[in-house]
Amino acid sequence: EAGVVQSPRYKIIEKKQPVAFWCNPISGHNTLYWYRQNLGQGPELLIRYENEEAVDDSQLPKDRFSAERLKGVDSTLKIQPAELGDSAVYLCASSTPGYTEAFFGQGTRLTVV
């Protein structure tokens, strides 16, 4: 069974440019998470979806970040415009309902220059 797939793996952009990340969760996983991980730190939750509904987006910087999960499957996370401080690894994870273990993708390493 395929795991959580993210693309791209790496992205380098100039500040003020837009960027988008894509995530395909494990089939049948209704819950999808986006995390941001800075170097030397643990993942920080940005948004959690239950099917199409964003049930927790309290940590998402809504002035520049947006996310969507169409049809309750794939999801995209967008930053517009990017700032230098957005450089980090963006991780997507999915799980079955019931606060169970999360399966993580390999992440997208974003560098803003």
Partner 1 sequence: SQQGEEDPQALSIQEGENATMNCSYKTSINNLQWYRQNSGRGLVHLILIRSNEREKHSGRLRVTLDTSKKSSSLLITASRAADTASYFCATVDNAGKSTFGDGTTLTVKP
Sites of contact with partner 1 (CB under 8 A): 4, 31, 33, 35, 40-45, 48, 55-56, 91, 93, 99-107
**Beta-sheet pairing, 108-112 with 10-13:** parallel
- Chain mean position to CA 17: 18
Nearer Cβ to partner 1, position 85 or 97?
Answer: 97
Nearer Cβ to partner 1, position 14 or 26?
Answer: 26
The residue whose two tokens read 């930053």 is 79
Cα–Cα distance, 49 to 55 (Å, whole number) = 6
Nearer Cβ to partner 1, position 27 or 41?
Answer: 41
**Two structure tokens written together for 64:** 């520049």
Minimum CB separation of residue 80 from partner 1 in Å reads 25
Cα–Cα distance, 13 to 16 (Å, whole number) = 9
Cα–Cα distance, 69 to 15 (Å, whole number) = 26
Minimum CB separation of residue 20 from partner 1 in Å reads 19
The strand pairing partners of 108, in sequence order, are: 90
Nearer Cβ to partner 1, position 28 or 42?
Answer: 42
Minimum CB separation of residue 10 from partner 1 in Å reads 11
Minimum CB separation of residue 32 from partner 1 in Å reads 12
